Structure formats: structure tokens, C-alpha cells
Amino acid sequence: MGKKGEKLNKKQELAVLAILTEPNMEKAAEKAGIAISTLYRWQQLDSFKERLRLMRHEIISQATTKLRQGMNVAVITLIELAQNTDTQVATRASASRTLLEFGFKAYELENLQERIEELEKGLG
């Protein structure tokens, strides 16, 4: 076992989850109910590495989705702070600066994405 695409057994699945949730390998092995040497050996298997990579990607994808969902609220809050004359000047300035910084970054990323798509079309 160990080739990419091969299914992991239940202990290996537990070990993958433990690696993602525990602070270190010793605790991950303990949580999965295996020896640390077994965990290190499994980490060399292509199928184990692939499953770990996929699970990490899924966690990051879910976190990114949550961040995107909160962005509108954050932007509205910053705009309200920047526009509210009752807010302290330092807070208004900080909110304005943050809006400008992220606005420019969003523009740059959008521009880069367009350029990448154009390059990919040229290669295809």
C-alpha cells in the first residue's frame, strides 16, 4: 500500500486528522493510537501524503470561504468608521488607510489574474 490513489485504512485516516489537529507529531501519533515511528513511516507513503495534502487544501478552502463571507461586513465597517465624523480622527485615518491599501491590493490581484489568463490563452 502507499501508491497515490490507494485508499487509506481507518488508522491512517485517523493519523491524517490527528496531524492536522494536534500541535506536534508525538501528540498526533498518540491521538491516532499508533507509534511515532509508524506515523513517520506512513508519512513516506504517496497515498498518505496525497490524503494529507487534500485535507490541508480542504481546510484552507473552508477558511478562505469564511474569510470572503466576512469581507463585506469588514469593508462596510471600515467605510462607516472612515465616514463617521463622531469617530476619533486616528480611527478614521486608520480605516481610510486600510481601505486604500486593500483596495490597491485587490486591484493588483485582479490585474495579475487577467494577465495570467491572457498568457495562458497564448500558451494554449
For the chain, give the mean pLDDT: 92
pLDDT of 71 = 85
Task: Report, as an integer, the average pLDDT of 11-34.
Answer: 98
pLDDT of 2 = 66
Of 42, 50, 9, 6, nearest in space to 25 by CA: 42
pLDDT of 103 = 87
Q: Summarize pLDDT for 79-121 with one digit per residue, the tens.
A: 999 999 999 999 999 999 998 998 889 889 999 999 999 999 9
Q: Where are the domains of the chain?
A: 1-69, 84-124
Q: DSSP for the chain?
A: --STTPPP-HHHHHHHHHHHHSSSHHHHHHHHTS-HHHHHHHTTSHHHHHHHHHHHHHHHHHHHHHHHHHHHHHHHHHHHHHH-TTS-HHHHHHHHHHHHHHHHHHHHHHHHHHHHHHHHHHH-
CATH topology of domain 1-69: Arc Repressor Mutant, subunit A (1.10.10)
Q: Summarize pLDDT for 1-15 with one digit per residue, the tens.
A: 567 668 999 999 999
Q: Summarize pLDDT for 38-76 with one digit per residue, the tens.
A: 999 999 999 999 999 999 999 998 988 888 888 888 889
